[in-house]
Amino acid sequence: MKSGFVAVAGRPNVGKSTLVNALSGGKVAIVSDKPQTTRQRIFGIANGDDYQLVLADLPGFQRPRDPLTERMQRTVDRSFEEVDAVLFVLSARERIGAGDRFIAQRVFSLGVPVVIALNKVDRLKPGHIAGQMQTASQLGEFHALHPVSAVKSRAAPASPRRGATSAAS
């Protein structure tokens, strides 16, 4: 059995909480269309046949600007101290730009594998998805890059063995 602690990082509103909910097979984190919904770490657990992942859904990560953002940023920084891997979430519906590169600088310097999830590919044209994957691939030395839809997967649960647990810290 492999196990590990995965930090789920990305700009506000890219779908980190939706993805954590989908991967852990239940609703553990609040999802909304307003940026900065997640203000504390929420943990989801994804169980597979031979692995168990603890997913830390982090607040949206951006350049510190105001006291709330700075406080949330400290939560993010603490979470990066003991991670085994990072799930770096991007939105395929938005331009991949300075905000994502700011996060990339941080996550690719941690020295752990970084998996990029290019989220929200539902209803996008294949050519657009391919272009966004190309841009995403230039953010850093990723371990894997997957186009995903956190909402579509909700309609078709992938594994009956997945369980959900949540805790805020």
Ligand X SMILES: Nc1nc2c(ncn2[C@@H]2O[C@H](COP(=O)(O)OP(=O)(O)OP(=O)(O)O)[C@@H](O)[C@H]2O)c(=O)[nH]1
Half-sphere exposure of residue 31: CA atoms within 13 angstroms, side-chain side: 14
Q: Please compute Rg for the chain using Cα positions.
A: 15
CA gap 123, 93 in Å, rounded: 10
Binding-site size, ligand X (CB under 6 A): 23
- Interaction of residue 99 with ligand X, rule CB under 6 A: no
CA gap 140, 127 in Å, rounded: 22
- Interaction of residue 132 with ligand X, rule CB under 6 A: no
Q: Choose from ligand X, Mg ion, none: what does 147 bind? Cβ within 5-8 Å by kind.
A: none
Selected binder of ligand X within 6, 16, 23, 107 (CB under 6 A): 16
CA gap 135, 94 in Å, rounded: 12
Selected binder of ligand X within 6, 7, 14, 116 (CB under 6 A): 14
- Interaction of residue 122 with ligand X, rule CB under 6 A: yes
CA gap 163, 147 in Å, rounded: 24
- Interaction of residue 17 with Mg ion, rule CB under 5 A: yes
Nearest to 56 by CA among 101, 103, 88: 88
Selected binder of ligand X within 7, 23, 28, 38 (CB under 6 A): 38
- Interaction of residue 119 with ligand X, rule CB under 6 A: yes
- Pairing mode, strands 2-10 and 51-57: parallel
Nearest to 148 by CA among 102, 115, 99, 112: 115
- Interaction of residue 38 with Mg ion, rule CB under 5 A: yes
- Interaction of residue 24 with Mg ion, rule CB under 5 A: no
CB of 12 to ligand X, least distance (A): 4
Q: Which CB atom, from 111 or from 127, has the smaller least distance to ligand X? A: 127
Residues of this chain that interact with Mg ion (CB under 5 A) are 16-17, 37-38
Residues of this chain that interact with ligand X (CB under 6 A) are 10, 12-18, 31-33, 35-38, 59-60, 119-120, 122, 149-151
